[in-house]
């Protein structure tokens, strides 16, 4: 199906048959990505009375019980409910069926090697931290010459195997500096996607500074305010295939209607071209 649409006054076209998923398949019996030392996602047949939900074990059909920690077990989308006391369900926040999206690629920098240290973080940055800076985001977007979009996807160049890496002290993930997140906010992106497990440092004394900045929730608080943005989402641990080039896309952000702050998700990209 051909989809014709306008973005910033320009006409574009996309084909629904050309979609590419950027979600990491969650293999319950194989390697999985992992964050924060959480237990692996599990799958087991339902056993209820005399019923066994596994045809290989004599059951009449397959009925699985799944145990998943969305924030830690793979590609997931989260709402502001992640950091506030109020229930803000992620399945209700994705909005439009199709979102205009910019995809950029950059390589995180070791903080001790960043020449012009104009960025910051709370707690303060350490020399061994891997970071994405404001300057990197600005440069990548300027080089790409992309239109203003609803969503931004940040793909990082990394030696880690993103499908199965266990992020921890041995494999600390990169994260955004405060100034980098401020730039994201200034560009008015409603949806931010990245192939890292978090926009914040893994061990940050529980501040989650960048999450608070993105959703306009004052740091140190856990209550929604008048200016807080319930319509925005963050999607983490995506995996953009190498053959998918940087550029302008339509995206279908598929999130199940679960009454929770985060859920496993499947963003699908569709190439868009001007007409």
Which stretches in the chain have pLDDT values below 50?
none
pLDDT, tens digit, 9 for 90 and up, residues 19-42: 999 999 999 999 999 999 999 999
Look at residue 169 in the predicted model and tell me its pLDDT: 87
Q: Are 115 and 136 in contact (CB under 8 A)?
A: no
Instruction: Quote the DSSP letter at residue 82.
Output: G
Cα 191 to Cα 50, 161, 188, 194: the distances in Å are 46, 25, 9, 10
Q: Are 210 and 82 in contact (CB under 8 A)?
A: no
- Tokens 């793909």 — which residue? 155
Predicted structure pTM score: 0.97
Go through the domains of the chain in sequence order and give each one's CATH number: 2-26+71-274 (3.50.30.50)
- The CA distance from 69 to 76, in Å, is 10
pLDDT, tens digit, 9 for 90 and up, residues 178-215: 999 999 999 999 999 999 999 999 999 999 999 999 99
What is the sign of the dihedral through the CA atoms of 133, 251, 211 and 161? negative
Q: Are 181 and 210 in contact (CB under 8 A)?
A: yes
Look at residue 92 in the predicted model and tell me its pLDDT: 76
């Amino acid at each position: 199906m051909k989809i014709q649409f306008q973005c910033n006054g320009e006409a574009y076209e996309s084909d629904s048959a050309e979609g590419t998923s950027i979600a990491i398949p969650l293999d319950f019996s194989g390697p999985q990505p992992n964050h924060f030392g959480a237990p692996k996602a599990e799958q087991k047949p339902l056993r209820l009375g005399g019923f066994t939900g596994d045809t290989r074990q004599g059951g009449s059909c397959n009925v699985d019980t799944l145990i998943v920690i969305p924030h830690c077990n793979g590609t997931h989308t989260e709402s502001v409910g992640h950091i506030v006391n109020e229930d803000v369900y992620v399945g209700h926040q994705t909005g439009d069926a199709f979102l205009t999206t910019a995809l950029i690629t950059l390589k995180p920098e070791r903080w001790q090697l960043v020449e012009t240290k104009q960025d910051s973080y709370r707690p303060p940055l350490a020399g061994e931290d891997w970071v994405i800076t404001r300057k990197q985001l600005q440069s990548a977007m300027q080089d790409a010459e992309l239109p203003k979009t609803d969503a931004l996807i940040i793909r990082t160049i990394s030696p880690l195997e993103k499908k199965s890496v266990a992020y921890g002290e041995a494999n600390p993930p990169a994260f955004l500096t405060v100034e980098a997140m401020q730039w994201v906010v200034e560009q008015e992106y409603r949806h931010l996607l990245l192939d890292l497990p978090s926009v914040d440092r893994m061990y940050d004394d529980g501040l989650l500074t960048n999450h608070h900045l993105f959703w306009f929730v004052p740091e140190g608080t856990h209550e929604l305010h008048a200016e807080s943005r319930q319509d925005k989402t963050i999607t983490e641990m995506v995996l953009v295939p190498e053959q998918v080039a940087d550029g302008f896309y339509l995206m279908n952000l598929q999130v199940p209607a679960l009454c929770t702050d985060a859920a496993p998700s499947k963003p699908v990209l569709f190439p868009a071209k001007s007409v």
